[in-house]
Amino acid sequence: MKKFVIGNFKMNTTPLQFSSYLDEFLPRIKECKTNIIFCIPATHFHVAKSRFDATNIKFGAQNISCEESGAFTGEISSSMVKECGADYTLIGHSETRRRFKETLESLNQKIIRALAVNLKVILCIGETKYERSTRKTKLSLKRQLDSALKGLYENELKNIIIAYEPIWSIGTGKTPNVKEIETTVADIRAIISDSFTQRSADKINILYGGSINESNFAQFVKIKGINGLLVGGACLNPKSFANICR
């Protein structure tokens, strides 16, 4: 089965710098069969659209509004993102949850808005250090998943990718060990199975994210139940990211 590798650029590079990045990146992944997705600032969409046209690479937003349109200064709607050629959007990254004080209800609304315009969702979930140390990881992930996926039909899950990103692992150089990730991914599938069916739990794509780099990525891809990676810092280096994708 083809694996996903998603690069989350966060607020890095200008559109011109992104174009130069692609000059280095694209020649390195010519024969690559991985599903590669770039989650980039909306200011970079026109670059992505023109440069990815002749490739299998997809791009997406890092967030969307929970509103459809109207007086929401600074926000970007799902249909705006879709019309610019994006196929995906991240939803619920721990950085947007925290900075924009996103509520569980607003994240559910964002998912509904995304799916309504055929944008696929990369739903980020993860536990805090405190939750892990007090053995509340599964409980926390269940709360995040149940609220995010509330009201969805089972057949809509095919348009959702779950990115498991422990909050304490993002940008810290710390990662859970292989066994911990395997257990948590099994827990995520059990939660999906309880709310939907075993079949959808088996089929849904689950990625790992958090402090992935060129030297540690291989162990994560091999973990049972993991369908790919969500890479932050390490995707900003075109050589490293191409190596991970390959």
165 is catalytic: yes
| Phi, psi (degrees; rounded to nearest 5) at 90 | -70, 145
Q: CA 75 → CA 9, 87, 113, 206, distances in Å?
A: 19, 18, 14, 28
Please identify which residue in 42, 159, 233, 237 interacts with ligand 13P, judged by CB under 6 A: 233
Whose CB is nearest to ligand 13P?
232
x-or-dash pattern for ligand 13P, window 150-179, by CB under 6 A? ---------------x----xx--------
Residue 119 touching ligand 13P (CB under 6 A): no
Is 230 among the residues that bind ligand 13P (CB under 6 A)? yes
CA distances from 225 to 121, 128, 184, 185 (A): 19, 22, 10, 6
Nearest to 40 by CA among 84, 94, 71: 84
Residues 77 and 86: their CA atoms lie apart, in Å, by 12
According to CB under 6 A, which residues from 68 to 97 bind ligand 13P?
Answer: 93
Active-site residue, selected from the candidate residues 102, 127, 131, 165: 165
Token pair recorded at residue 22:
């692609």
The answer to whether 30 and 61 have CB atoms below 8 angstroms apart is: no
Question: Among residues 24, 31, 93, 154, which one is catalytic?
Answer: 93
Q: Which stretch binds ligand 13P (CB under 6 A): 19-27, 29-37, 52-60, 231-239?
A: 231-239
Catalytic residue numbers, as ranges: 93, 165
Residues that bind ligand 13P (CB under 6 A): 8, 93, 165, 170-171, 209-212, 230-234
